[in-house]
Amino acid sequence: MAAYQDLFWWSRDGLRLHARDYPGDAGVLPVLCLPGLTRNARDYAGVAARLAGPRRVIAVDFRGRGESAYAKDPMSYSPLVYAQDIAALLEAAGITRFVSIGTSLGGIVTMLLAGMLPGRIAGALLNDVGPEIEPAGLARIRSYVGKPSVFPTWMHAARAVAESNADVYPDWGVEQWLAMAKRLYRLNSAGRIVLDYDLKIAEPFRVPGAEAGPDMWRALAGLNDVPVLIVRGGRSDILSAATAERMAASLPDAELVTLPGIGHAPTLDEPGVQGAIDRLLVRAAREPAAA
């Protein structure tokens, strides 16, 4: 695993937030890695191991996840607030221009950042997410997010993760499920294996009309001037093939990669996507610097 330093910064509402900061050459575009709804910086260990060194890689724990503080107001667990938190991180870390890699929720935040910080994103990877989320996938997420899950051993946790994600990664073995469990869960002070996020992140989903929000097609258009890589799991219930194709067609410089046999969401460690990430970084490096 690549070596990293713990990076802490403060949100506008006074939360101490955390990211893994993998050092790199200051002259190379840094990469910002934004995880999914219930995930954390550990999901990007593989990406960082491959990219860090020549370039700086920062993998974020959104508020309420991993080493970041839990919010006092659960209604602040929203994409717009996460985007504000990332803007504060960029200021604290002295990053003016970057490539954003966003999985699921992280991709939504990436699209919002494109509008909030024009000219700052040099390239973007949207991993299994787009301006439209499929109702079946949203219903599946609502069925499990925020529900407590406790196990006596890591192997018990791995088995549970395997049972609930068998359709997502049908070819995985025990070692992969165990690694995923250790990314999703943590060991608490009582020696039990528990979810590594604030269960209250589910509360905004329960508000009537919670689906309403910014026009995400308009937010996607904020990436019109930069190269974009769209990654879709071929079995995804979040990003449909039609939406992914519409995204690729609407962006002037987009590449669409579909990974067959994988659901929501690809880990980005798959051999079929690594070359596409390399191409994105080359394309992003050719973009003119922000004025």
Greatest mean pLDDT range, 24-28, 56-60, 166-170, 203-207: 56-60
Residue 6 buriedness (CB in 10 A; 0-12 / 13-18 / 19+): exposed
Q: Is pLDDT at 249 greater than 80 in this prediction?
A: yes
Domain-wise residue ranges, the chain = 5-142+214-285
Q: Determine the average pLDDT of the residues in 264-270.
A: 96
Contact 78, 103 (CB under 8 A): no
Token pair for 74: 């659960």
Q: What are phi and psi of 60, to 5 degrees?
A: -95, 145
pLDDT tier for residue 2 given thresholds of 50, 70 and 90: confident
pLDDT at 212: 52
Element (H or E) spanning 248, and its range? Answer: helix 241-250
Per-chain mean pLDDT for the chain? 94
pLDDT at 273: 96
pLDDT at 213: 64
Which of 120, 129, 123, 104 minimizes the C-alpha distance to 289? 120
Which residues, at least 6 apart from 216, have a Cβ–Cβ distance to it below 8 Å? 108, 111, 130, 131, 132
Q: How far is CA 127 from the centre of its chain?
A: 8
In the chain, the amino acid numbered 257 is: V
Q: Is pLDDT at 255 greater than 50 in this prediction?
A: yes
Q: Is pLDDT at 48 greater than 90 in this prediction?
A: yes
pTM, two decimals, is 0.95
- Class of the 5-142+214-285 domain? alpha beta
Task: Report CA-CA distances (Å) from 289 to 120, 171, 251.
Answer: 9, 42, 20
Question: Range with the lowest mean pLDDT among 2-16, 79-93, 205-219, 253-267?
Answer: 205-219
pLDDT at 214: 74
Which of 17, 23, 19, 25 minimizes the C-alpha distance to 7? 19
pLDDT at 291: 34
Contact 151, 185 (CB under 8 A): yes
Q: Determine the average pLDDT of the residues in 231-246.
A: 98
Q: How far is CA 269 from the centre of its chain?
A: 14
Tens-digit pLDDT profile for residues 148-193? 999 999 999 999 999 999 999 999 999 999 999 999 999 999 999 9
pLDDT at 206: 77
